Structure 1
């Protein structure tokens, strides 16, 4: 009986706490909706919306080729007016098929299905921020869609060595037709090397012939490889360095033993001569 009363009291207490929390939450909601809290609530909502918006897209292009810039519109937008702009210049217009900007004349095409912009025969100066400005059929201004375009040349590379006349050791230089946005990798044969710069110090052992070193240079849109072969000749006569070293060490060892034996024989001979002379002197 006592246990039942305790459980009943605990249940009543839990219900009371829950009711109190609900009242406090209701009061907080009314406060947020009140005139004094409404600006703060709107500001917080704006921050949440801004944080959910993705960053402007970045598109990479290659000089001489084509690229497509997305308009960022949905099929439901159905714009009544639309322009693509680069800075203050309009380079494509929904209502005007002729491009008035000399830079893009005969090089741009406006897709009237998704309103993307195609730029042909890209040039380095085409890099920049492009803006798609559109108005909905209802007259509502749609958010401006920005696309950043980076145009790069297709990378080319070559490998040279310094010094030109030294064997077994060399400095390999990987050079490209670009100075910026270039990364390097090196290989020795099929093996990747840890070096990630345009300079590689190499050292070969005698007898290593036609070892291929390859530089892989890349930028955001292309990759180029260049190779060079290095050799370290064996000593004259075709004898390997290890064999020659063993022969020289053996020869030196033989010479040392011969010298020791020679000195010992000379000392023994000299001693015998002294003994004979001493005997001869005693007999006389």
Structure 2
């Protein structure tokens, strides 16, 4: 039985497979995890032979209606094959398991499917820091740095009249590992997101911790509210003024009565 040529095009993740399909389905899996490669065939399809073939042209599984499935010694204990739906589970995937896996279902009508399995490490934690802050009575500018392991992306945010925006728009960068680094603003939060297809980490800073956003926020000082102090002083002053006016009025009235 000849082996079909393995193709290398990417389409969509674990999509339904139809007869004669030559598209390659991308499947991303975290290193050390399992992945299930599903196959969907037409109901009632007569099956004579099922072959699962690795990217190294090794026949992983050979199954026919007359015999028990035969598993390659290279994959013993590393896979699970379903006689019910012909799916294949690859277990504890490592970097060497990257590649294209092909299933051929042969009978009155052939069904072929290809899966491009990509094994990825989880992304490293990320640290978001504010490196520079410049404030005035009307505006506030701050520069942040997002640092995953062995990389860096920075961005500047400008706040004016209670509205903040990111200079030049959202910042993103694709790293050599294939992971992406993204710095963006959501409401009052600056978020740095480090992600790939199998994992993600993020760190967040609140703009209000560095820029006074609300009206009257200039009243706030360390440990005490200046607004409250002003309110108390004004209230006391008003009471003294009213008391003085009342006292003068009473004194004048008493003098007239004498």
Q: TM-score, normalised by structure 2?
A: 0.50
The structure with more helix, counted as a fraction of residues: 1
Which structure has the greater CA radius of gyration?
Answer: 1
* More contact order relative to length (CA 8 Å, sep ≥ 6): 2
